[in-house]
Amino acid sequence: MTVAGRPDRPVALVDLLDRLLGGGVVLHGDITISLAGVDLVQVSLRALITSVDKLLEERPPSSSYAGET
């Protein structure tokens, strides 16, 4: 078992986004009211996945994460 999230290790962005976008009180602020049609979680996860894809494409295949345990 690993205990993560202590100061020696920054919180993973994907864990943070689960909670900041999937949790938290949702009071529709003045701005987010007009964004009501936009699912913030979807939008940001799409951004995240796109960036990860780009990152992987830029690396030579041998340095992908598979099998590096």
Contact set with other proteins (CB under 8 A): 1-5, 11-27, 29-32, 34-35, 38, 40, 43-44, 46-53, 65-67, 69
Question: Residue 31 Cβ, how far from other proteins at the closest point, in Å?
Answer: 4
Question: Residue 43 Cβ, how far from other proteins at the closest point, in Å?
Answer: 5
Residues in the chain: 69
C-alpha span between 52 and 24 (Å, rounded)? 25
The DSSP element (H or E) to which 22 belongs, if any, is helix 13-22
Closest to other proteins by CB, 30 vs 58, is 30
Type of residue found at 20: L
